[in-house]
Amino acid sequence: MPPSSAPLDSRVWIRSVFSLYYTSTYQFFAMVYAGPQGLRVGVAGAGRVGHVHIENLVETPRVTVVAVCTVVPAEQERVGKLVPSAKIFRDFDSFIATDFDLVIICTPTTLHYEHVAKALKTGKHVFCEKPLGPDASTAWAVYEEALKYPSLKVACGFPRRFASTFQETALRVKNGELGEIISVRSQSIDPYMPSEFFDNYIKTSGGIFVDMTIHDIDVCLYLFGTDERPIRAYASGSAKMFPQFAAWGDVDDAFGLVEFESGKVMALYGNRDSMQGHHAMAEIAGTKGRIIAQGHPHLLDVQITDPTGVRTVGANSHMELFITAFKNELRAMRDWILDDVEPAFNLKDAAKAVTIASALTKSLRQNQAVDIVNFY
């Protein structure tokens, strides 16, 4: 999902002011809690998601942000205010040579393999933002590289795995409440944001399945709860609201269907022109029943009644809807490293998600079903 160039709404503005006001306090207690067994973290990339991670890290006990790498002057200035004690680097090699324990990689997707490999070579644990790579072969290369360092923890960030609604659903599936799983469907719809800035983002995003719907692919794999092997993909879509997307081989409204060797089916929907804001949901069906996770597009559990009718409060973005999950995944990474608490991360699923997304993109552009080439 793209960074937004739109003016901040009141909720985001209030959160930003709150964060800046309390940053020094949070950082102080993070350092106190860190102590001799704390986690020293470096963050590579301080754009939209990188900044969110830094904000969350400075609020996380037993964690200290000691280094940040970004070549963007505005980001350097923002980081300097948010984490005054952190050393700021302009090049990755100097940054990764610094002494810290965990690197959060929020750099462009095309650099993920290089940066993960260099981090592992220097003995650092790795949390890499999605997608794991720009294509299937690169994503599996990251996975294979991680296997060479069994003493190091390597994760790919998919926050829905750390949202309570989806965790509860996964637990019920694991407990057998739905019987044999038949299918999972998931959707993400993003707000309509026409701008030159957005167009430029889409041109290099990799397409709706790799950039956006990959969240849905991963959550479906998570909810299956088993190591499923995809064999065939079919995708269709249109670019009615953003007709210029067609020239880049992309759409603003996308449907995907994925078949697995076991007979299970994954159904996906992605949309970039929602008028009410962001909504993400999933439905999993089995022989004994089904569960709908986050079926209503609510940010807050309130209903407003006025002369216009009855309405609810929705989320403006994926990050706003999953703000707690973004925090939880970093805490899970910390606990995995410091306390060896097994997390919900699954690096194989992360590579598999890129494989599926790439196959769906190919199907969309060729207008036909395609067989999925597995790399494992």
String of DSSP letters for 155-222: EEE-GGGGSHHHHHHHHHHHTTTT-SEEEEEEEEEEE---SHHHHHHHHTS--HHHHTTHHHHHHHHH
Q: Domain residues of the chain, as ranges? A: 10-158, 161-371
Check the CA dihedral 352-132-61-118 and report its sign.
positive
| pLDDT tens per residue, range 127-155 | 999 999 999 999 999 999 999 999 999 99
The whole-model pTM stands at 0.88
For 10-158, the fitting CATH number among 3.40.50.2300, 3.30.70.260, 3.10.20.600, 3.40.50.720 is 3.40.50.720
One-letter amino acid identity for 87? K
d(CA 123, CA 17): 36
Average pLDDT estimate for 17-30: 44
Query: Is the CATH number 3.30.360.10 carried by domain 161-371?
Result: yes
What is the helix (H) or strand (E) element at residue 318, kind and residue range?
helix 318-321
User: CB neighbours (10 Å) of residue 273?
Assistant: 16
Question: What is residue 13's three-state secondary structure?
Answer: helix
210, two tokens: 């790799």
Predicted confidence (pLDDT) at residue 23 exceeds the cutoff of 70: no
Residues 6+ apart with CB under 8 A from 334: 39, 60, 62, 63, 102
| pLDDT tens per residue, range 153-202 | 999 999 999 999 999 999 999 999 999 999 999 999 999 999 999 999 99
Check the CA dihedral 359-293-274-159 and report its sign.
negative
157, two tokens: 């960030």
Q: If pLDDT is split at 50, 70 and 90, which confidence band does 37 have?
A: low
Q: What is the 3-state secondary structure (H, E, C) of 37-72?
A: HCEEEEEECCCHHHHHHHHHHHCCCCEEEEEEECCC
Closest by CA position to 217, among listed 356, 318, 369, 347: 356
One-letter amino acid identity for 187? Q
What radius of gyration do the chain's Cα atoms show? 20
262, two tokens: 């076991």
| pLDDT tens per residue, range 40-85 | 999 999 999 999 999 999 999 999 999 999 999 999 999 999 999 9
| pLDDT tens per residue, range 301-341 | 677 888 888 888 888 888 888 899 999 999 999 999 999 99
DSSP string, 333-357: HHHHHHH----S--HHHHHHHHHHH
Q: What's the whole-number average pLDDT of the chain? A: 90
138, two tokens: 């690169």
| pLDDT tens per residue, range 75-99 | 999 999 999 999 999 999 999 999 9
The upper half-sphere exposure of residue 90, i.e. CA atoms within 13 Å in the direction of its Cβ, equals 5
d(CA 362, CA 194): 26
Judge whether 10-158 and 161-371 match in fold. Answer: no
Share of the chain residues as helix, strand and coil, in percent rounded to the nearest 5: 45, 25, 30
